[in-house]
Amino acid sequence: MAITNGWLPDLPANLISYESFVVVLDIALVAFLLYKVLMFIKGTRGMQLLKGLVVLIVFSGLSNWLHLETVAWVLDKMWASLFVAVPVVFQPELRRALEQLGRGRFFTRSSTHLTGEDLYRLIREIVKAVLELSRTKTGALIALERRTGLQDYVEGAIRIDGLVSAEFLANIFVSKTPLHDGAIIIRGDRVLAAGCLFPLTDNPFVEKELGTRHRAAIGITEGTDTIAIIVSEETGTISLAVDGRILRFLDEKLLKEQLEKLLQPENLTAGFRGWKWSHGSNGK
């Protein structure tokens, strides 16, 4: 076999081309799969956990480079625990990924963030429904998904996947109907599920007069960037919860203004605007 440049054997050109194609294909597939995984967990609590792991990796590398033996020893012990903890921590994301992979939806996920006329139509329908629920003193809890996914709370609920309309929302919460208990989750312009159960807040500073529906709204917004709208069954009062805090006694104008600001694509992680408030405050 001939030797080229004294180092490499003179291989057939087609073999070199084939090997190059395989290498490029291999790298492209890995990059694509990594991208899909990142897009899948984007906007969920899993992304925050992943960022935490990246920080630990960086600290581990720096400690070894700077010869910080004590820090390196502590991090080494943490890695041993993380190998067991990571599958448990990411269990909801792993389960959902396998389910979507089986349904053929893993590679077709698209954004559900609304803009323009679609966004304003959504807000208009929600405000109209909430005002009607308030007028009839019908208790309701509406969760608007933003960047943090609420799929974990959909799993044990009643799936709907219906287009949001004022009449549809009002009918869901009619007393003594199959869907009125629990909360509904809205993703984009569709009602994803009804009868959803959210964790109650443990905040000791929440007003004692607030019932289970309000405490569930505060609870879901403590761990996610969800917007929760609450209608009191006793008084018809309209409230809005974000970031584990609640505004009460909203009217049509204030509710519409807050939703318009909070649901803008550039504000999907923002809290209340134009208010001074604290945990459990009434917005006054």
Task: Write out the two tokens for 87.
Answer: 């599958």
Which segments of the chain belong to CATH 3.40.1700.10?
A: 116-267
Q: Largest Cα–Cα distance in the chain?
A: 91
Distance CA 226, CA 242 (A): 7
The secondary structure element, H or E, covering residue 206 is none
pLDDT tens digits, residue range 231-247?
999 999 999 999 899 99
Write down the CATH superfamily of domain 116-267. DNA integrity scanning protein, DisA, N-terminal domain (3.40.1700.10)
Per-residue pLDDT, averaged over 13-39, amounts to 76
Q: Is the pLDDT of residue 58 over 60?
A: yes
Please check whether residue 273 is in contact with residue 279, taking contact to mean a CB–CB distance below 8 angstroms: no
* Per-position b or e across 40-78, b if 16+ CB within 10 A of its CB: bbebbbbbebbeeeeeeeebbeebeeeeeeeebeebeee
pLDDT of 281 higher than 50: no
Three-point CA angle 272, 90, 72, nearest 5°: 100
> pLDDT digit string (tens) for 94-123?
665 665 565 454 554 444 578 889 999 999
Which of 6-20, 70-84, 149-163 is least confident? 6-20
